[in-house]
Amino acid sequence: MNPDQGNLSSDIRHAIEAAARLIRSADNGVVLTGAGISTPSGIPDFRSPGSGLWSRYNPMEVASLSAFRYQPEKFLAWFHPLAQKILLALPNPAHHALAILEKAGYLHTIITQNIDGLHQRAGSKQVLEVHGTLESLTCIGCYQTFPAENFISSYIHNSEPPRCSDCGQILKPDVILFEEQLPKQTWLKAQKACNECSIILVAGSSLEVTPVATLPLKALENHAKLIIINQSSTYLDPRAEVLIHADVADVLPLISELVVDD
């Protein structure tokens, strides 16, 4: 037993070992990650009772496409503290563990609901951001797209709304808001990855947000094995080959070490 597992229950230790065996034997692994993989990096989640952002705000009032269209300055003011946390955050051990598994060839695709870019900063290469990204901005006037790095400093440090250098209209971060469609090509790639995988690992997602929550179901329909690591229950817990209710930042590094060292 790895000494780092000493503070875990015997059930969780056995589940970690079972997950490592499944990943090691798979020829096409896919991961779906949610907010729970980034909360250890200091980024608040949206749905946890009491602490999630949606327990304090009505998402349709602050984070819908309609809200942005009619009051973009209000959205950017609400989004500002979250954007600060995201852009100052660092990858945690869970992100690094997945990057190690990808580099070693055990994972082929990381599908993430997160917009923080922490998977890429940890070294992962094959990342599908199904809920968009903070890395770019699109003008609501002329629809040009710009790298966020050209505008983000003034927004983060001075709360200045980013504006198009050509037409002067406000730039919208390329994150998916309520009422907005998912990026088509990214979504098609995510579906294809789940249709073709032999194992799917759900890490830090409560599987409550559709249509992304249906992706593991597609994998199961094509006879993939399912591993779930999440603090709370999900609707697919009964169908998981391995189920671990624990912090992904504690569990994933141990799984990665068992897989790669063996």
HSE-up of 41 (CA within 13 Å, CB side)? 30
The Cα–Cα gap between 125 and 233 comes to: 29
Torsion of CA 191, 40, 125, 199, to 10 degrees: -40
Asked if residue 137 lies in contact with residue 162, where contact means CB atoms within 8 angstroms, the answer is yes
108 is catalytic: no
Measure the CA–CA gap between 211 and 224, rounded to whole angstroms.
19
Least Cα distance to 30 among 236, 193, 192, 239 occurs for 193
CB 29, CB 225: distance < 8 Å:
no
Provide the β-strand partners of residue 170.
Answer: 163
Please count the CA atoms within 13 angstroms of the CA of 154 that sit on its side-chain side: 8
In the set 131, 157, 223, 245, the catalytic residue is 131
- The catalytic residues are 131
